[in-house]
Amino acid sequence: MAEGTLTFSPDDRYNAFLRTVSPARYGEGRLSGVPVAVKDNISTAGIETTCGSRILSGYVPPYDATVITLLKKAGAAIVGKTNMDEFGMGSTTENSAFGPTKNPRDETRVPGGSSGGSAAAVAAGLVPLALGTDTGGSIRCPAAFCGIVGLKPTYGRVSRYGLVAYANSLEQIGPMAADVAHVSLLMSVIAGHDPKDSTSLDAPYAHTPSPDIRGTRIGVPEEFFGEGVDPRVASVVWDAISLLERKGAEIVTCRMPSMAYALAAYYVTCMSEASSNLARYDGVRYGPPADVRKPWHEAFQERRREGFGLEVRRRIMIGTFSLSSGYYGKYYAKAQAARQNVRKDFRRLFAEVDVIAGPTMPTVAFRFGEKSDPLSMYLSDILTVPANLAGIPAISVPCGKVEGLPVGLQIMGRWLEDERVIDVAYAYEQGANP
């Protein structure tokens, strides 16, 4: 079925809403009248954008992000903003200043993060499509935990203009939906060059997913099934990989030594960039007005202490330390060297295989409060951060369950080969749901 003719099934839970909309109201286009939810760190003109933070409570952007402009041109109905970890800093959506989001699959468990609100909205049937952002797994993690599909596109393939910055060199806006075909449809709307974004690539997306993966070489790094990965999750993912083999793919086991340093390189990099990006929230440029009767540094500290949550303050402090005089070379510079090693590892692997497969997350969704210390929370990102460090596309597709909770299969591909990643995910989906 061609992308332009893709439709939504009549028994979808949002069909009642679709009957109330019309092209006259939302305009003709591939998404005419289709409801779309938008993560709350993407600027929407006239609609409050808080990034899940008290410091931006009441902030209404005067302009639309480029992806919002493209959605409107396609006739989409933007129905609301979704909850998130504050400024994208978290893997559970528990760090939102406005309270946590519940996982529709089990309301005692987290939906993942930081795009947990978008994933939960799709999983609950509130909307068919949603936008998330992915800095170190923030689309793929909640997609896996909530049992939906989420794509982190190649860095630069979707404009970041209007995305409130957290870690510029890592983050990417991407589509989320209940199945691969709808992710592909939304990707076709939001991808393309944007002169307002200096990192934007001239690489539009116009692709119809194909289940034919005969001859595709799929690499499976041993490190993706190592320490910390729940054996039950590993077993489900291996079953999914075996299905792809039965569909005609060739499975190649391999090694990725740089995984030992990827998580540390990611967190030093993202926290350093966060320290720089969030300096603007000072009560003068952004945030509630500071008390001008006090000395500037006191007013600055007071406003940020009141406006930022604990996790954001923690990351700003660590990032500031790693960039400080005397420590820059010991931490930030070394993190960039480790990042280059991750990229080299991917280039080496992609000379031998077409895509790389493994679990999206090392466990299924955990209960609220279960991972209360920062280190255990950060370790949950171990399998998703490499794709962000390298800027390559990666998708999470549901591949089974453990104790009734969804497990995600992650497929990563070469730079700008988002189409191949989507095809492999689609082949699995069609094979698992004939």
Tell me 235's DSSP state: H
Q: What is the DSSP string of 255-323?
A: --TTHHHHHHHHHHHHHHHHHHHGGG-SSSSSSSPP-TTS-HHHHHHHHHHHHS-HHHHHHHHHHHHHH
Helices (H) and strands (E) in the chain, counts: 14, 10
* Residues marked as catalytic: 39, 114, 138
Residue 331 near residue 318 (C-beta atoms within 8 A): no
Tell me 419's DSSP state: H
Q: What is the DSSP string of 71-130?
A: HHHTT-EEEEEE--SGGG--SSSTT-TT-PPPBTTBTTB---SSSHHHHHHHHTTS-SEE
Tell me 228's DSSP state: T
Residue 38 near residue 44 (C-beta atoms within 8 A): yes
Structure tokens at 187: 């990707």
Residue 248 near residue 254 (C-beta atoms within 8 A): no
| Residue 344 exposure: Cα atoms within 13 Å on the Cβ side | 9
